[in-house]
Amino acid sequence: MTALSLRARLFLLILAPLLVVSVLLGIWRYEVAKRTAEDLFDRSLLSAALAISRDVTISEGDALSPSTREIVSDAGGGEIFYHVTGPGGIYVTGYAYPPNAPGSSDSDEPAYFLADYRDERVRVLRMSETVSIGTMTGQAVVTVWQRLSDRAAFAATLAQRAAGLMAVLMLALAFVVWFGVQVGLRPLRDLQNAIEQRSPDDLRRIKRPVPVEVAGIVGTLNRLFGQVARNIETHQSFISDAAHQLRNPASALLSLAETLPDIQDPKARERHQRDLIKAARKSARLAEQLLSLERLRFDGPRDFATLDLNDVAAQACSDLGPAILSRDLSFELVQTPEPLRVQGDAVLLGEAITNLIENALQHGGPELTAITVRTSKEDKNACVTIEDDGRGLPMDKAALAFRRFGQLEAGGGSGLGLAIVDNVAHRHDGEVHLLELPRGTAIQISIPSA
């Protein structure tokens, strides 16, 4: 379904209320015209009745004057009928059978009423005056009436004229509004044209002057452009760093693989194979860490489940336990007796704990003799701490160690382990702390409890 254009919406929003008002105004105008017609025709009936009464008195019932006949023949487009009786109810002039009054009244005041005359509704005025006709003196009754259809036609004519005038005004107003909205929206079309002329790589801020009503939209677009530009820069930087980090393991793998067929000595060949397997594992681990880091940066909405941090730590220790014990190191897991319920991703949390343990193995140095994984509950947080007694991580170099591809010494690893740990903690609304020890290193992940 196609949405209406902004110009069409503004046009409808402005014209629709005006159209409703004009319809209501037309109905009101018709009612006013109807009442005006009734008042005018009632006055014409009264004028005709007074004129007829005067002529009957002057001519003693013989004739009506030309001016009176003109009033009677046509009053505002409607024919007037009349009937006159003299003293004693003697018929004087006019139509023979007047409309019957709904009741009798002896009042001398003019009386208006509705009645039927020859199957038509009429408006009737009946008035009486004392007159002398010949030798007789008494009450003369003048009855005048007019068809209601004539009155309705006159009122309809007035209403049609008013409706025609309002229709012309509405058309003129619609024309003005349509082109007025078009002119008012011209800055938006100019803005659209300016954006369309940009290349996909042009993410500069929009500096074109715009109306205050769309300044918020332009501001939001500028913020979005800035965020997209920063994301692209970060992504390009990551690709460049990743390519640099993968180049050395890939070169080592290629060199070992190319020289392996030329080695004839069985012991040297076996040693070379072990180096090749070690290099392949190192490359695979680096690729796995790169993918984990990208997943943390570009993963969709969080879909966490309730899990026990004790179980996650136990699984990570179980996976790395054989490799650690084969190096004749002490490896201990100390867990809290109660479950540590958190909302999180078991894979990501397991990867973070694994990276901390591998970091201790990689950088512990010759002084390393023991690694301890400890879970605990502190305030409203569930914590897991990886502690070793190796050479230790200086507190003043912690920022560099947690930076992506940050390395304290050349060839000391990929530089991604602690960066992944930090990202995992923040994705779970937690924090990573470097604890100060007299000897060795202790890094703690703290996550809000479920």
- Render 30-90 in DSSP notation, one character per residue: HHHHHHHHHHHHHHHHHHHHHHHHHHHHHHTTS---HHHHHHHH-BTTB-EEEEEE-GGG-
Look at residues 386, 383, 399 and name the one whose alpha carbon lies nearest to residue 442: 386
Rounded Cα distance, 368 and 76, in Å? 119
Q: Extract the tokens encoding 368.
A: 């390393």
At 422, which amino acid appears?
Answer: D
Cα Rg, the chain, nearest whole Å: 52
pLDDT in tens, the chain (450 residues): 455 666 777 777 888 888 888 888 878 877 887 787 778 888 888 888 888 777 776 666 555 666 666 666 655 556 788 888 877 778 888 887 888 877 655 566 788 889 988 888 888 988 888 766 666 677 888 888 888 888 788 777 877 887 888 888 888 888 888 887 777 777 777 777 877 777 777 788 887 777 777 778 888 888 888 888 877 776 666 666 566 556 656 776 777 787 878 788 888 888 878 877 877 776 776 666 666 666 666 554 466 889 999 999 999 899 888 888 888 889 999 999 999 999 988 888 888 898 888 888 888 888 889 999 999 998 889 999 999 988 877 776 766 666 655 555 544 555 566 777 888 888 888 998 888 888 888 889 999 998
Cα 57–63–67 angle (5° rounding)?
A: 90
Residue-level pLDDT at 132: 67
Rounded Cα distance, 29 and 159, in Å? 6
Residue-level pLDDT at 424: 84
Phi, psi of 302 (to 5 degrees): -70, 130
Work out the angle between the directed axes of helices 212-259 and 266-298 (0-180°, nearest 10): 170
Close Cβ partners of 91 (under 8 Å, ≥ 6 residues apart): 84, 85
Rounded Cα distance, 281 and 72, in Å? 119
Residue-level pLDDT at 334: 92
Q: How far is CA 143 from CA 56, 117, 344, in A?
A: 13, 13, 99
Q: Which domains does the chain have, with CATH numbers?
A: 6-171 (no CATH), 212-291 (1.10.287), 301-448 (3.30.565.10)
Contact (CB, 8 A) for 215 and 230: no
Where are the alpha helices (H) located in 303-406, listed in sequence order? 309-325, 346-363, 398-401
Where are the alpha helices (H) located in 260-345, listed in sequence order? 266-298, 309-325
Cα 346–350–351 angle (5° rounding)?
A: 120
Enclosing H/E stretch for 29: helix 6-59
Look at residues 427, 449, 194, 205 and name the one whose alpha carbon lies nearest to residue 306: 449
Residue-level pLDDT at 333: 92
Contact (CB, 8 A) for 241 and 405: yes
Residue-level pLDDT at 20: 85
Enclosing H/E stretch for 230: helix 212-259
Residue-level pLDDT at 362: 82
> Where does residue 196 rank: exposed (0-12), middle (13-18), buried (19+ CB within 10 A)?
exposed
At 86, which amino acid appears?
Answer: G
Contact (CB, 8 A) for 147 and 122: yes
Name the pTM for this structure. 0.46
Close Cβ partners of 108 (under 8 Å, ≥ 6 residues apart): 127, 128, 129
Residue-level pLDDT at 295: 63
Q: How far is CA 1 from the centre of its chain?
A: 17
DSSP 3-state assignment of 139? strand
Which DSSP category does 449 fall into?
Answer: B
